[in-house]
Amino acid sequence: MKTLLFLLFPILFYSQTSFKNLDSAAFITQIDAIIKTTGTNYKFVKYDTFQTSKILVFGNPDKVDDEMIFFYQTYQSMEDKNLGLLGVKQWDFTSVRGNYQNLFSIWKKFIDPDGNKEAISKQGYKSKNGYLFRMVSSPEWLIRF
C-alpha cells in the first residue's frame, strides 16, 4: 500500500492546481506559471483595485492592446481578534481576463485538458469543476476561479 501511495503522489501532486488559499510565494509562482503557459512575454504594468478585488495588470510589450489582468483578494487566514491571533496572509485568485487564445491555453493546461478550442469559442462559455470560462467581448475572455 505504501508503494502505491508513493507512486501516485507525483500524479496527485502535479494534477492539483490551486488558485485559492495561497501564500505569497505560491501566489507569485502561480502567476508566473499562468503567464508562461500563454507563450506571450507579458511584463508587469501596474497594480490597481476594482470594487473588492485587487488587480495586477500585465502587458505584452510587442502588442500594446494585449493585456492579461489578474483579479485577486487577500485575507488573514486563522485570524481571531478575540484571542489576539493575527493569522496568516493568504491570496485567492478570483479571475483572469485576456484574449481568447491565451486564456484558452490556461484553461486547457490547468482546468480542462480535453477542452475543445473551437466548441468553446462558438458557445461563448464553458464551465467545469466550479471554474467558468466565458466571453466578455470578443476577443476578450475571462476565467473565473
Q: What is the mean pLDDT of the chain?
A: 89
Domain presence at residue 74: yes
The answer as to whether 69 is a domain residue is: yes
- Collapsing DSSP states into helix, strand and coil, what is residue 138? coil
The answer to the question of residue 4 being in a domain is: no
Let me know how long the chain is: 145
Is 26 part of a structural domain of the chain?
yes
Asked, for residue 10, whether it belongs to a domain, the answer is no
User: Sorting pLDDT into bands at 50, 70 and 90, what band is 141?
Assistant: very high
Express as a percent the part of the chain with pLDDT over 90.
Answer: 77
Q: Provide the grid cell at 90.
A: 493568504
Residue 109 has what DSSP assignment?
Answer: I
Interval 56-72: pLDDT, tens: 999 999 999 999 999 99
User: Exposed, middle or buried: residue 37 (CB in 10 Å: 0-12, 13-18, 19+)?
Assistant: middle
Mean pLDDT of 83-108: 95
3 found inside a domain: no
Tell me how far apart the alpha carbons of residues 100 and 135 are, in angstroms, rounded to a whole number: 8
In a domain, 12, yes or no: no
User: pLDDT value at position 14?
Assistant: 37
134 compared with 82, residue with greater pLDDT:
134
pLDDT at 79: 83
Domains in the chain: how many in total? Answer: 1
pTM score: 0.83
Angstrom distance (rounded) from CA 18 to CA 47: 22
Residue 105 belongs to a domain: yes
Stretch 39-64: mean pLDDT: 96
State the residue range of the domain holding 29. Answer: 17-144
Q: Which is nearest to 67 in space by CA: 136, 11, 113? A: 136
Split at pLDDT 50, 70, 90, the class of 17 is low
